[in-house]
């Protein structure tokens, strides 16, 4: 499989007049759509004071990439899940943020040889989630459509079709929709309200995956909604520091609907291969016995303020822990670099309890040409 990818990268480089990079990759490119768990800097380029950004210390205090420790737009002390998925696929880190690729030529070059990240902190499956302060999923799909059109204008549809069929599409989104719903309803939600929410989320998810499929995506790795009721922000609202069971139950219900939806959708899109990663369950395992995984804290934020570090965002004035690798949570919402790495490893290699019906590695090894023939 790597020989096929290496050959495709060489052909793309030659046609585009570019110098190829490393070709020991499982896929030729990675395209990322999602929220702050995957964002690598798109929000830095959005206007407005209410946009969530990770462009100030102490974000990036352990960033291992070029330029050394610095804020990069990642909601992390270093790399995030997208970076580690990309590394497992043979890349140095996540592809760059779409909005950072200002020149048309740079966008095409990057999209062909690395991929692009459209993920945005605060984004939701619904356009109404955090409206005006992020790039919603529907807009991320539009940006990919524009990227694909630019690639086709450069190399033609045949080459781009082959590229996209071999590439890895990573999607991780949904937690913000659920958190906004809980906040808005304030425990007053009825079963019909929840059913309507799930219906809207799954309908939009269906449109997203179908649109990506129609544009050439064949290998799609999806991370389900996280354990949002156990983030430090949620725990800080409880007198005993306990998880918000209602939020977790809402997420678990959505994840069940997502699993059923994908199992039903795949046969209707010939050649679509997918892997559903259970980030919810992986985080449950970590916080149930953090010491077993080498963590000293699975409740408090390493960088934050107030109770459990969950009453304020990570800012230059925040308290910050010394041993970041000992914490599951970096700030009041997001994972540390080490926790993100552990999740990515589980999604990529297994065990089977965290991915279905394939691991991300098995998904990447699928041959795009074979999928296109189905």
What CA–CA distances, in Å, run from 109 to 6, 15, 106, 310? 16, 11, 5, 41
DSSP state string for 198-229: HHHHHHHHHHHHHHHHHTT--EEEEE----GG
- Could you state, in chain order, the average pLDDT of each consecutive group of 10 residues for the chain (374 residues)? 57 53 82 98 97 97 92 98 98 98 92 97 98 98 98 95 97 98 88 97 98 98 98 97 96 98 96 98 97 97 98 96 98 98 98 96 94 86
DSSP state string for 230-272: GSHHHHHTSTT----HHHHHHHHHHHHHHHHHHHHHGGGSTT-
Options 62, 94, 313, 334, the catalytic residue: 334
Instruction: Please return the burial class of 289, using the count of CB atoms within 10 Å of its CB with bins 0-12, 13-18 and 19+.
Output: exposed
Q: What is the pLDDT of residue 320?
A: 97
Pairing label, strands 273-277, 219-223: parallel
- Are the beta carbons of 226 and 251 closer than 8 angstroms? yes
Domain edges within the chain: 28-291+336-371
Options 13, 35, 36, 275, the catalytic residue: 36
> How many secondary structure helices (H) and strands (E) does the chain include?
13, 10
Q: What is the pLDDT of residue 4?
A: 54
In the residue annotation, 162 being an active-site residue is answered as no
Q: What is the pLDDT of residue 220?
A: 98
Question: Strands (DSSP E) along the chain, which ranges?
Answer: 30-34, 115-117, 168-172, 219-223, 273-277, 297-301, 303-304, 319-320, 327-329, 355-356
- Are the beta carbons of 349 and 361 closer than 8 angstroms? yes
In the residue annotation, 36 being an active-site residue is answered as yes
State whether CATH 3.40.50 applies to domain 28-291+336-371. Answer: yes
- Which DSSP state fits 92? S
Global pTM? 0.94
Q: What is the pLDDT of residue 216?
A: 97
Please state, in angstroms and rounded to a whole number, the distance separating the CA atoms of residues 202 and 200. Answer: 6
Please state, in angstroms and rounded to a whole number, the distance separating the CA atoms of residues 85 and 261. Answer: 24
In the residue annotation, 349 being an active-site residue is answered as no
The pair of structure tokens assigned to 268 is 């209707």
The pair of structure tokens assigned to 187 is 């425990």
């Amino acid at each position: 499989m790597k020989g096929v990818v290496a050959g495709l990268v060489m052909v793309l480089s030659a046609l585009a007049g570019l110098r190829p990079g490393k070709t020991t990759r499982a896929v030729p490119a990675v395209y990322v759509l999602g929220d702050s768990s995957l964002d690598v800097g798109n929000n830095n380029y959005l206007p407005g004071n209410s946009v969530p950004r990770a462009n100030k210390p102490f974000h990036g205090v352990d960033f291992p990439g070029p330029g050394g420790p610095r804020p990069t737009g990642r909601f992390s002390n270093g790399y995030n899940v997208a970076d580690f998925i990309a590394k497992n696929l043979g890349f140095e880190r996540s592809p760059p943020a779409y909005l950072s690729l200002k020149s048309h030529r740079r966008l095409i070059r990057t999209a062909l040889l690395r991929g692009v990240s459209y993920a945005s902190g605060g984004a939701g499956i619904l356009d109404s989630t955090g409206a005006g302060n992020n790039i919603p999923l529907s807009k991320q799909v539009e940006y990919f459509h524009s990227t694909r059109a630019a690639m086709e204008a450069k190399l033609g549809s045949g080459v781009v079709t082959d590229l996209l069929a071999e590439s890895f599409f990573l999607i991780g989104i949904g937690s913000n929709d659920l958190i906004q719903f809980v906040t808005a309803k304030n425990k007053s939600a009825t079963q019909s309200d929840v059913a309507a929410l799930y219906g809207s989320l799954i309908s939009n998810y269906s449109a997203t995956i179908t649109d990506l499929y129609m544009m050439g995506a064949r290998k799609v790795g999806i991370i389900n909604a996280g354990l949002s009721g156990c983030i430090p922000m949620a725990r800080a609202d409880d007198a005993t520091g306990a998880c918000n069971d209602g939020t977790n139950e809402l997420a678990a219900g959505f994840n069940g609907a997502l699993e059923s939806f994908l199992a039903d959708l795949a046969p209707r899109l010939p050649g679509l291969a997918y892997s559903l990663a259970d980030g919810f369950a992986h985080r449950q395992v970590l916080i149930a016995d953090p010491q077993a995984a080498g963590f000293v804290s699975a409740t408090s934020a390493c960088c934050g303020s107030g109770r459990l570090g969950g009453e304020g965002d990570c800012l230059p004035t925040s308290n910050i822990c010394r041993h970041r690798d000992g914490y599951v949570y970096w700030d009041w919402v997001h994972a540390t670099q080490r926790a993100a790495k552990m999740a990515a490893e589980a999604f990529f290699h297994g065990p089977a309890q965290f991915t279905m019906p394939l691991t991300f590695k098995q998904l990447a090894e699928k041959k795009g040409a074979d999928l296109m023939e189905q």
